[in-house]
Amino acid sequence: MAALLTATVVAGLGPILIYVWAPPPKGQRKSGLKVSLQGDLTSIPPKSVVQFNAPANSAFLMATGGGQNSPGDATFGGFLVNPGEGQQLEVFATRCPHLGCSVGFSPPDGIFKCPCHGSQFNIKGDVIHGPATAGLATLAWRRGSQPNEIVVDGLILGQGQ
């Protein structure tokens, strides 16, 4: 019985573990990507957003997904968000969960808008208007060694990509 249970667990978890721990394609490697922002992280006003791009020859890897986005998917831009009301800074991918266009932040409205089909997201990344049915994906990040630096989980692409 124990052997059967073990075999069932291994058969079920094996593909998942291989997916999660699979090495990146040849010529690519996972890395923390350093991003320098215009100002210090402590100077981002409440309910405001700082947009940033991945360094050359690299991409960020999504930590969460939803809609057309999945954990581990690549994206080339992010938003560092101060949601205000004493909440922690958050980092979102710019890629729309509907069909992958790049969303933008609209300061007058305080929301993210997708130019392709009109999806909208509040400053916490939640959908407030479709056709998207999922919120913005998050990126895994940490503060860097400089006051204006963050380090985002990503992928260094091979030369010439």
The residues of the shown chain that bind ligand FES, judged by CB under 6 A, are 96, 98-101, 114, 116-119, 131-132
| CB nearer ligand FES, residue 71 or residue 100 | 100
Per the CB < 8 A criterion, the answer to whether 154 and 32 are in contact is yes
| CB nearer ligand FES, residue 101 or residue 151 | 101
| CB nearer ligand FES, residue 97 or residue 154 | 97
CB of 17 to ligand FES, least distance (A): 32
Backbone angles phi, psi at 17, to 5 degrees: -65, -40
Backbone angles phi, psi at 65, to 5 degrees: -140, -150
CB of 55 to ligand FES, least distance (A): 25
| CB nearer ligand FES, residue 35 or residue 114 | 114
Give residue 100's region: left, alpha or beta (phi > 0; psi -120 to 50).
Answer: left
**Cβ neighbours for 19, distance < 8 A, ≥ 6 positions apart:** none
CB of 115 to ligand FES, least distance (A): 8
One DSSP character per residue, 87-105 reads PPPEEEESB-TTT-PBPEE
CB of 80 to ligand FES, least distance (A): 21
CB of 124 to ligand FES, least distance (A): 18
| CB nearer ligand FES, residue 52 or residue 95 | 95
**Cβ neighbours for 28, distance < 8 A, ≥ 6 positions apart:** 155, 156, 157, 158
Q: Can you tell me the distance from the alpha carbon of 60 to that of 5, in angstroms, rounded to the nearest whole number? A: 38
